[in-house]
Amino acid sequence: MQEARRGGSEVGVVFWVSAAFALGFILWGVIAPENFGAVTQSVFDWVVSNLGWFYLLAGNFFLLFVMFLAFSRYGKLRIGKEGERPEFSTFAWFAMLFQAGMGPALLFWGVAEPLAHYSDPPFGLARAGTTEAAQLGMQYSYFHWTLHPWAM
């Protein structure tokens, strides 16, 4: 019982610290939206300029690592008791993960992202409204919505 109580209080501490941190960001955005926007845009620009290569390498690493796990002996591990049958089929499990994790986002971003890159290509890599911009928009969309985010 002591373990359960102690574990519960640790969860409470994690929750309240996280909630306070989130509330601080929300209040900053509400009280000083111009400052919040400028600071977050600066941080975003710095990350994109200085860590974009790391993001691409990390995405590829995670994809390869997850594929290794899936096709190695670890891919055969089951969650649950020995000999217990899974509650859901593999297809049902995949469908639930897809719907909860990516379904709603794909409904919007599946169309919006390529169009956004078509009308305003990232990093000036192409001229807006050209075939090159359309191809670039699809390339970015495939990277953002295929295997890499699932691996992460």
Quickly state the pLDDT bin for 148 (edges 50, 70, 90).
confident
User: CA–CA separation, 141 vs 61, rounded Å?
Assistant: 19
Please give the mean pLDDT across all residues of the chain. 86
The answer as to whether 151 is a domain residue is yes
Condensed to tens digits (0 to 9), the pLDDT of residues 48-95 reads: 899 988 988 998 999 999 999 989 999 888 778 888 888 888 899 888
Residue 3 identity (one-letter amino acid): E
102: which DSSP letter?
Answer: T
Tokens matching residue 27: 């209040």
The answer as to whether 110 is a domain residue is yes
Q: Out of 21-35, 94-108, 127-141, which region has the weakest mean confidence (pLDDT)?
A: 94-108
Quickly state the pLDDT bin for 1 (edges 50, 70, 90).
very low
The answer as to whether 3 is a domain residue is no
Quickly state the pLDDT bin for 29 (edges 50, 70, 90).
very high
Mean pLDDT of 38-47: 95
**What is the domain extent for residue 90?**
86-152
The answer as to whether 93 is a domain residue is yes
Q: Are 36 and 28 in contact (CB under 8 A)?
A: yes
Q: Are 126 and 133 in contact (CB under 8 A)?
A: yes
Q: Domains in the chain: how many in total?
A: 1
CA neighbor of 123 nearest in space, from 146, 112, 139: 139
Residue 35 identity (one-letter amino acid): N
Name the residue with higher pLDDT: 83 or 34.
34
pLDDT at site 150:
76
Residue 28 has pLDDT above 90, yes or no: yes
Q: Are 57 and 64 in contact (CB under 8 A)?
A: no
